[in-house]
Amino acid sequence: MKFYLKGQVKIYPTEDLEKVKTAVENIFSSINFRLEDAGDFQVLFFESETMDSLQKMKNILRQDQIRDAVRKFLNERIEENKIRFWLNKQVAFVGHVSVCEIPTESSLGPIEVEIECEDPEKLVDWLSPSSIQ
C-alpha cells in the first residue's frame, strides 16, 4: 500500500531542539528529519514512507485506551487520500498522544501531521481499531 507520512513542528527560541525531536520520536519511528530556519523560530520537518513509522502511536493509543476517541477524530479528518491532524507537543514529549481540534490548542504549537495513503479508512482501522466488539 502506498504510504507517506510527513509533518512539521515549530521550535521556538525557548525550546530545546533535542527535546522537540524526542517528542516526535516518542510517537513516530523510522522517520527522517530536516531542520530549517524560519527567522524567529526553526521548523523541524519529518517524513517516512513506511507504515512502521506509526507503530509507536498505535501502541500508545491501545495502552492509553483512547483508540475509539482517536479513531473518530481521524475519520473526521479524512479528505480523499489524506488524513491531516495535530498533536500536542508537550504530551508527546512524555510519550502520550493528545490530538488537537485546532492547531492553536497547543500553547507552544502542535506537531502537524499529514498521512497520504491509498485507503485512509483502512489505515485508521489498523492504527486505531475499535475496542467495541
Which residue intervals of 1-133 are DSSP H helices?
17-27, 55-63, 67-75, 89-93, 120-127
Q: Which letter does DSSP use for residue 28 in this model?
A: -
* Domains of the chain, start order: 3-125 (3.30.1440.10)
> Per-residue b/e over 21-34, b at no fewer than 16 CB within 10 Å?
bebbebbbeebeee
Q: Is the pTM for the entire model greater than 0.85?
A: yes
3: left (phi over 0), alpha (psi -120 to 50) or beta: beta
Per-residue pLDDT 10s for the chain (133 aa) are 689 999 999 999 999 999 999 999 999 999 999 999 999 999 999 999 999 999 999 999 999 999 999 999 999 999 999 999 999 999 999 999 999 887 665 667 899 999 999 999 999 999 999 887 6
